Amino acid sequence: MKFKETSEGFFLNKSTYVNLRWIAYIGQLISIITVEFILNFNFDYISCLIIIFLSGLSNIYLKFQIKGNQLQNNLASIYLAYDIVQIGLLFYLTGGITNPFIFLIIIPAVFSSQYLMILSSIILASLTSIILIFLSFFYLELPNPGYIHLHAPKYYLFSIPIAILIGLLFLVYFGVKFGSENRIRSKAFDKMKEIMAKENELVSLGTQAAAAAHSLGTPLSTILLTSKELQKEFSSNNKLKNDLDLLVSQSNRCSEILKKLSLNPTIEDEFLNSEITFKEYIDEIVRSFREISSKRFIVNFENYVNVLKSSKSPEVVYGLRNFIGNANKFSKSKIMIYLSSDRTNTEIIIQDDGPGFPSDLIDKEKLGEPYIRTQYSEHTSKYGLGLGTFIGKTLLEKNFANIYFKNLDDQKGAQVSIKWNNKDLKKI
């Protein structure tokens, strides 16, 4: 994530934020009343109550006057900055750095690191740090009504803001990293949903097309038959002959188109519910790639003895197509696919003779994470290396598969191993 990144997609949920502010103000009010009237600490509680009252008014304005359900980055940053200053003023009036609740001042900055841009988080963390340093030297002491007075050494008082600042830096950094990764994963999942929606839409369209072809076949045959009869009857009429010839030829053309549609495997309404073996899975997918690719696909079923069938899942189809497609994309000339099974497991191994996976991703076990980057530019793609792999891996793991990545010896290609327990195949 870069500082120049647009604020689009960086926002706070307004309803949640408003509720959290109410909780904070009620807690502040209870604390002020308790300290003044129950513990008998004499301090300027009137000013504290005025600050809390004005903050409550700002929250009412936020709830009813600011339109929309989300607060965009800039507006959210302004309100969080106000919250930091508000808390700082209360601490100034109630003992400054010696106030036992002083650590609460870091909450808005940590909160911002999860949802806002990095630059906004840095500004809010810096504002918090400045106020903390200020409160270390300037504040109104709380007169203790008791007879025991605690006098902490200065080094102890100075260590408090240092400890809080260290905690602030750690939590903000953690929040930024966590928030960034969460947004990336959210985008990747949205992309996955989009792809699956398109996949299901294509299946639906194929089914509808096949059904239409079946329904139109009979009336079109009638039209063609009638046209041929008219063609024979008016063969001597030159004026009508050309029109009838055109009608017959176009009817034949329509018939050929419908025949092609009828060959679509999605003619079966039970397409998604049909049960097939993994051998049939692989055959179907490889056949589609052979039609569009000039590379050699070598398929080995010698060690496949399991004839267990499972429901044809578009998620499994897409996941397998993704990994076979990646092998086709990066291979030099051939793709090897091995299907093996025993009484316990079924495994699909996909190999290619390409450059292999980037070593930096293999070593750090980053493959399968969304939007990852590598130092090797030849591995990058439109969406950044890893999005397609992330989607394919997620879909297959959702269907009980275990995915393993490795490079073949001497970097002569990549290997993806997809493994199921046979018991889990019945659940697909």
Three-state SS for 194-221 is: HHHHHHHHHHHHHHHHHHHHHHHHHHHH
Tens place of pLDDT for every residue, the chain, 428 residues?
333 343 445 667 888 899 989 999 999 999 999 988 888 888 899 999 999 999 999 999 999 998 888 888 899 999 999 999 999 999 999 988 888 888 889 889 888 888 888 888 899 999 999 999 999 889 898 776 654 455 566 666 676 777 787 777 767 776 676 666 666 666 666 766 666 666 565 555 555 566 666 667 777 778 878 888 888 877 777 777 788 888 888 888 787 777 666 554 444 444 445 678 888 889 989 988 988 889 999 999 988 887 777 777 778 888 898 899 999 999 999 999 999 998 889 999 999 999 888 877 765 566 766 655 554 444 444 434 466 787 788 888 888 899 999 998 765 789 999 999 988 887 77
pTM above 0.85, yes or no: no
- What distance in Å separates the CA atoms of residue 393 and residue 418, rounded to the nearest whole number? 9
Helix/strand/coil for 338: strand
- What distance in Å separates the CA atoms of residue 258 and residue 260, rounded to the nearest whole number? 5
- What distance in Å separates the CA atoms of residue 187 and residue 235, rounded to the nearest whole number? 66
Nearest to 32 by CA among 84, 101, 127: 101
